[in-house]
Structure 1
Amino acid sequence: MLSFASAAYTAGKELVGTFSANLVTLPGAAGHPDTMAWWATQPDAWRACRENPEEPAEAMVRYAKWLGGLPGKPVFVGYPAAFDFMFVYWYLIRFTGASPFSHSALDLKTYAMALLGTEFRATTKRSMPRAWFDDLPHRHVALDDAVEQGALFCAMLAARSGFIATS
Structure 2
Amino acid sequence: MKEEIYISTDIEADGPIPGPYSMLSFASAAFTADKRMHGTFEANLETLPGATEHPDTMTWWQSQPVAWQACRSNLQPPDVAMQKYLNWLQALPGKPVFVGYPAAYDFMFVYWYLINFTGKRPFSHAALDIKTLAMALLKSSYRGSSKRNMPKHWFDKNLKHTHKALDDAIEQGILFCNIWQEIRAKKK
Coarse TM-score class (shorter-chain normalised): over 0.9
Counterpart for residue 129 of structure 1: 151
> Cα deviations across residues 68-104 of structure 1 (Å, max 9, x unaligned)?
0001101100000000000000000000101110012
% of aligned pairs identical?
64
- List structure 1 runs of 4+ shifted beyond 2 angstroms: none
Q: CA deviation at 1:121?
A: 1.1
Measure the CA separation in 2 of the matches of 1:30 and 1:52. Answer: 20
**Structure 1, unpaired ranges of 5+:** none
Counterpart for residue 159 of structure 1: 182
The counterpart of 2:59, out of the listed 33, 37, 49, is 37
Counterpart for residue 138 of structure 2: 116
Is 1:27 matched up with 2:52? no
Q: CA deviation at 1:2?
A: 0.3
Q: TM-score, normalised by structure 1?
A: 0.96
Counterpart for residue 70 of structure 1: 92
Is 1:80 matched up with 2:99? no
Measure the CA separation in 2 of the matches of 1:97 and 1:52. Answer: 25
Measure the CA separation in 1 of the matches of 2:31 and 2:185. Answer: 19
Is 1:144 matched up with 2:167? yes
Measure the CA separation in 2 of the matches of 1:12 and 1:4. Answer: 24
SS in 2 for 1:161: helix
Letter of the structure 2 residue corresponding to residue 150 of structure 1? G
Structure with greater strand percent: 2
Q: TM-score, normalised by structure 2?
A: 0.85
Counterpart for residue 20 of structure 2: none
**Structure 2, unpaired ranges of 5+:** 1-22
Measure the CA separation in 1 of the matches of 2:180 and 2:71. Answer: 30
